[in-house]
Amino acid sequence: MNVSDVVGRAARRRASWSWLDSKRVMEELAGRCALDLDWDWEAPEGWGSLRRGNEDEAIVSGDLPLCVTLAGSPTARAAAELGCEVITVSSWVAPELSCSPEVLGEAFGHPEGFSSMDVEEFSGQDLWFATV
């Protein structure tokens, strides 16, 4: 699934989004969906993880209105209602995503992680690792 449009929309909305907006979304998703939130408030990280038990159910960007979530999770709809662009994945490790390098650069800059990531075939976990 090509996510260039979704990631591009999130990147274009960056100017009107802050880590406080991301914090609000993460806290609201945790409450609405009965999830545990893992994010360092003192040094805002690139992504906050919303977990059910030991498993990530969703991740929310600390810089962009962007949420990546497991398909079928209530977090997908809730994140959209809270103003996020949403990418759904069947699993965190399935290489089912693609995105243009230009859009990834616009959204995340050019982290070193992109040098080893295949932009034609990557997983939600790959995106997370490349941009943390």
The predicted structure's pLDDT at residue 15: 94
> For the whole model, what pTM was predicted?
0.93
Q: What is the pLDDT of residues 60-114, one digit of tens each?
A: 999 999 999 999 999 999 999 999 999 999 999 999 999 999 999 999 988 777 8
Give me 110's structure tokens. Answer: 């050019």
The predicted structure's pLDDT at residue 64: 95
Query: Cα(115)–Cα(74) distance, rounded to whole angstroms?
Result: 33
Question: For the chain, what percent of residues have pLDDT higher than 90?
Answer: 83
Query: Cα(14)–Cα(49) distance, rounded to whole angstroms?
Result: 20
Beta bridge partners of residue 85, listed in sequence order: 66
pLDDT at 43 over 90: no
The predicted structure's pLDDT at residue 81: 96
- Average pLDDT of the segment spanning 124-128: 94
The predicted structure's pLDDT at residue 74: 94
- Phi, psi angles (nearest 5°) of residue 12: -70, -20
Q: What is the pLDDT of residues 29-40, one digit of tens each?
A: 999 999 999 987
pLDDT at 44 over 70: no
